Amino acid sequence: MNAPISGQNGALTQGFRLPDPDFVPEELQMLRDQVQRVVEAEIVPYADDWEREGKIPRALFRKLGELGLLGMQHETAYGGTEMGALASVVFGEELARSSYGGVTSSVTVHSDMSASHITRVGTPEQKARWLPQICSGETVCAIAVTEAGAGSDVAGLKTHARRDGDDWVINGSKMFITNGVYGDIIIVAARTDPDAKGSRGLSLFIVPKSTPGVTVASKLEKHGWLSSDTAELYFDDVRVPDEDLLGGENQGFYAIMRGFEHERLMVGAISSGEAAKAIELALDYVRTRKAFGRTLWEQQATRQRLASLASQVAMIRAMTYQTAAAYDGGRNTSLETAMIKSTAPEILHEVVHGCLQLHGGTGYMRGTPIERMVRDARILRIGGGATEVMLEEVAKRL
């Protein structure tokens, strides 16, 4: 933890780092080193421009694909590496340490939260058609579940699809869709049995965004994650062939729930990575900033505050890694992942605000990493299931 720390430009260094659990294999240590190098060379020098432009260049996706970093959930037969959830956790954590939440969100939505449905429940034909270009970064993927009136409550979705011959016709709208503006294909959740109760009549579809009737209604302006494009989408008589039904008719809810387990693991990884980076930045600042004749680090209250925050980060990180290993082993981790999603973003929120406070007025200025990180961190308490909803998910499993 006492290695040299980074400066205020957000560059990734060997600053505040916790050791990996003993069960993390050497190949994942090598993966971590590789992602660190990519972050330093391909993200940090350019991400401020992407924040201003509100988009991430396709070249980054292609670079990550070239290095095999977008296929860790996908089978080798279709261009993936099949490294599993623990590898994705390492990947997400190191991306998050870039300090750019928008980049992290767009990339991990593509690699771990949308395209993974094709691997999990897709047919061999669907996998062969889509996964090679998804793994290479040539095709960018989004997932469209949330609607204006139904977010955490998946059973309340109104977008519907009806059979028409050999096709399905989709009508409805989706809100807050990451990669929805500039992405290429969308995994769409729609109600296919209007008479089924709650979640029982949902299905998933693979919908190319170029399909007639798919419209980007608006590119949404956000509080944070500025480099990540977010869309409101309309589906007006969107016709897709039956071969693009993903995972079976009326089976979508079960696929979404399994996907949520992995998504919540990624939230744990991203939260611990961002929190560790915030502590690193704060350590750098308080060890050099003087007040009343001493550095802030020499003030007992400062040291103890950072020690407390670092201990909380260590706890959420340990649980995320342990749960990822259990997930890879095939165990149902719905309880643990709900616990992670309900807790990790709350700890991240406390960490980034605590670290901004230690930066004083400097931390409140636009252009400093800690100010951006505070804005970026806020969404993790909402997206993918609000904290309050996740606590109910935990409670009903106790």
Residue 306 backbone phi and psi in degrees, to 5? -65, -35
Residue 14 has pLDDT above 70, yes or no: no
The C-alpha atoms of residue 45 and residue 251 are separated, in whole angstroms, by 44
When pLDDT is cut at 50, 70 and 90, the band that residue 15 belongs to is confident
- Domain made up of 141-250: CATH architecture: Beta Barrel (2.40)
Domain-wise residue ranges, the chain: 26-136, 141-250, 253-395
Catalytic residue among 42, 94, 263, 274: 263
The C-alpha atoms of residue 330 and residue 71 are separated, in whole angstroms, by 19
pLDDT above 70: percentage of residues in the chain: 96
When pLDDT is cut at 50, 70 and 90, the band that residue 317 belongs to is very high
For residue 2, the model assigns a pLDDT of 36
When pLDDT is cut at 50, 70 and 90, the band that residue 311 belongs to is very high
The residues, ordered by sequence, that sit 6+ positions from 64 with a Cβ below 8 Å of its Cβ are 38, 70, 107, 111, 137
If phi over 0 gives left and psi between -120 and 50 gives alpha, with beta otherwise, what is residue 278? alpha
For residue 155, the model assigns a pLDDT of 72
Q: For the residues 95-100, what does the mean pLDDT come to?
A: 98
For residue 6, the model assigns a pLDDT of 36
CATH class assigned to 26-136 = mainly alpha
Q: Tell the CATH topology of 253-395.
A: Butyryl-CoA Dehydrogenase, subunit A; domain 3 (1.20.140)
For residue 197, the model assigns a pLDDT of 80
When pLDDT is cut at 50, 70 and 90, the band that residue 106 belongs to is very high
For residue 199, the model assigns a pLDDT of 75
The residues, ordered by sequence, that sit 6+ positions from 133 with a Cβ below 8 Å of its Cβ are 139
Residue 232 has pLDDT above 80, yes or no: yes
Annotation marks residue 388 as catalytic = no
When pLDDT is cut at 50, 70 and 90, the band that residue 156 belongs to is confident
Residue 12 has pLDDT above 50, yes or no: no
Hey, what amino acid is at 44? V
Residue 112 has pLDDT above 50, yes or no: yes
For residue 52, the model assigns a pLDDT of 96
- Rounded to two decimals, what is the model's pTM? 0.93
When pLDDT is cut at 50, 70 and 90, the band that residue 230 belongs to is very high
Angle, helix 334-359 to helix 252-286, in steps of 10 degrees: 30
